[in-house]
Structure 1
Amino acid sequence: MNPGEKTCSNHPVSIIVFDVSHRRSLNLTYGKVKNTDKKKKVLCPDPVKDTCQTFTGTFTWYKDLQFLPGEHDVELWIDMATKKDEGIYTCMCTWTHNNREYNSSGSRELIVPEEVIHKDIQILTPTDKEQFADEGSSIKLNCSIFCGINAKSKCDASWLMNGKPVSQSKGYSQSTNMVIESPSKNTISTAILTIDKVSVEDFQAEFKCVGDGFFTQKITTLTLKQRESIIPLVIGGVCVLVLCALTVVLVKWFAIDLALFFRPYCQPSSPNKDSRVYDAYVVYQTHDMDKATEDMLSEFVTKALPCVLEDKAGYRLFLHGRDAIPGEDRLELVEEYIKKSRRLIVILTPGSESEIATTQTSAMEEFDWQVGLHHALVQRDMCVILIQLGETGPQGYTHLPPGLQHLIRKSPPLKWPKGSPDALSWKSRFWKRVRYLMPATPARKYAQSSVV
């Protein structure tokens, strides 16, 4: 080639035109800028830098397509970079050729790694030196350690059994897991030792939770302790409950016996100021009875009542056939005798249920009932003791006066056990209940003249 001659060469160039939506595509960047330096340097890609230097162009910088004012160097420096500074940085060169302006650009992705801080190992669990377990049961032992912030590289938790690593042998298995908490970024490593069936040897073994960190290692020792059986506690509790229930049943069953037993020791210290001289006024029906009922009533009134309540218990009863003075006006003196009595004993017989309401031939006997019930229900100055002789019959108590039916609903009558060995025994259940309803202290015994 002669001096001064010029040659031209053709170079094929492939031009690919991307849509504007690809401007932030990572595939179109010149690599990544990633290091742990606090001060980051982003270099303008070489093709753009060379073009700009050849044609003496001007540099401008963009972050995520946003213009960065004041940045016109080939290098972009970012002091104290944080996660907020991450993004795609674009270096653009504006240059002129043949009086025509051109733009050339290239991008790099800046990645700011999270801060990593390794700290001395802290064992979070176990916190106790002993852990209770049941022989034959399954148990999980948890070993958790704290390593620092984003400390992924060296943060290992594990278990040792009698100074040796726990192998994946039958009955034992160990699993590990690492977690970086959010938002604190604390790094926690956990090892879980699973014992499928706790044996006697496990209670004698020494388990160690080992934490390996970047700078330090820490170990804590854990032993298994046999949990005390709850069977003795359960048996003791059941025994206490049974004893309490038995005590309640016995107290309820023997409540009357206990009350009668302690009565003599619980008498008031002051003298009895009750001026009533009879402990009970006895009322009953005597008309229109069959022979059997009449004999039963006679036996109870003349024999059983006086024998038990008067002779053995020391009470004083008023019985019309025995205590009324001949010639007295009964209608005038009934109320006086009732006022002098502390209880009203009502004797119900198989024939008394209908006669009280239907018969008009026993006005005097019916008057006793009326006066006694008036004092018991209206004036409320005496208690009523209901005693049933024989069976009630199909009509029950429906034919009795309403006041007496009311008393029966409140307190069912006591049934005298005629014909049984307990009929005249003052220690029988029947007579104990009668004595329980009688006054605690028998009335003073006055001379017959003072009563009249």
Structure 2
Amino acid sequence: MLSVRSGESLYLPCPNLDCFQDKENSSYVWLKNVSSTMSLVEIGTEEHMRVHYHRSVLYILQLSVEDTGCFITRRFYPDGVCHEFVIDLVVYEEFSPDLLFSTISSVERIVAEIFCPLCQYQEGTFIWYKNFSLISNQESDQVLRVREFSIESEDIYTCVCFWEHDGRKLNSSASLRLVIGEQPLNTPLRIVHPTDNSTVLVDMDTEMGITCSVFAGSTGRKECSVDWLRNKTALDGVDGYIVQQRDDEEFIHSVLLIRKVSQMDLYSVFHCRADYSYEEMFVSVTLKRRDVGASWLTLVWCSVCVVLLILMVSGTMKMFAVDLVLLLRGSFKKRNRKEDGKVYDAYVIYQKNHLEEATEKTISDFVTGALPTVLEKHYNYKLYIPARDDLPGEDCMNLIETKIQLSRRLIFIITTGRGAHEHGSSPEVYDVQVGLHQALVQGDIGVILIQLEDMHNYTHLPLGLQHLLKKSPPLLWRDGGKPGSRFWKLVRYQMPVPSCQRDRVKKTSAGSSCQTEQSPPLMYAII
């Protein structure tokens, strides 16, 4: 049904587009169904008539209410076939909402385009009204563009078409309603990756992909399209290139896949193009061949640096491992430890007889001087040294067994002395036997081996002691040294954590309680 206003004129083509465009092979007859007589009245073709037709177009000049009715177009083909098309026409004396052709709803567009539904197939000039007020500064066009519209843009828009027929100036009008829905957020379009004029390193004759990521906002994704061009030519559908697009919340990602990078690609400029309504944005990307030699050289240098760093770190840790353990042992010494029932931190075993004068003096200076001075006075260890700590009248054999069982470590002092081990019943030989039995058979006591003199071999020593020397080289005494020297650090490293029961005697601060750590397992220092 077509609604029009009286006083205007109507240019009405056949409602069938194919019918209207056929100018040569058909003949036409226009009829009106007169409802009062229930009959069809043929319309004339004379130009001077107010209602007439010319082939497939009906002209009604100066419309009146009496023109309301049903108009029929009959199309006759050369073979005698006839098609009939019907148009219901309603003429209103004044403006009515029923005159509105349609309602246009614009929700997600920045620019609304309103098309005038009249004079589509006839030349004419147009003016536009908003709420029946003339819109100034509008182009004389059949399409009205409402830019940057808001809720205030909602209204009734009317187009008036001016046209001529048989020397007479006529006009037609049509009205439409524009409805503005929820507007999208004004999110600025932004190409996040890649950056403009960027360069991508590639390998020849290989497959590679470039991703273009565009921020379009949650509502702008439907309006935005992203594609790739090479030297300003679109690549979608070009052989050897694949363009894929996917949405990710507020982003659009367009991936350009190059099947095989060629020399031509190196001399081309690739553009990622983002198209959003009437806005376009570009970033350019060029390809550069990767320098294979430089990459291998870089890889070799990096590998060498990593190896050197590992060696440096491992060497440093090995060099300072003892210092680190001693530092942590002193820093994290716990108070009020549960005692293990031991009394002595170490039992010292050394040869006392059948020695040369120089060797005897060396042993005496070390056992009665340096050893107790450093371990007992400086580091609070408790040693049992035979001959120094023996009580008169005690049974030597029982005393040796008891004191060794009450000790946490055995310190063997190794010298070049010969002959003493042949006297198996002597106390100094017995403490060697008991100590080796505890260390090798029962395995419940740690051993520290200290060598006072240079030796070419250890064949003069008991077999058990030789076995221990094969497992762990002895610590070599260098004629003295301060308590903080490397030798004493290694001795302390193999010693247990000193008992803090003796710390209480030296400390005067109240409330300091002590907890002793568990003794470390049997360790042998390597010199």
| TM category, shorter | 0.3 to 0.5
TM-score by length of 2: 0.42
Q: Higher helix share goes to which structure?
A: 1
Q: Higher strand share goes to which structure?
A: 2
TM-score by length of 1: 0.48
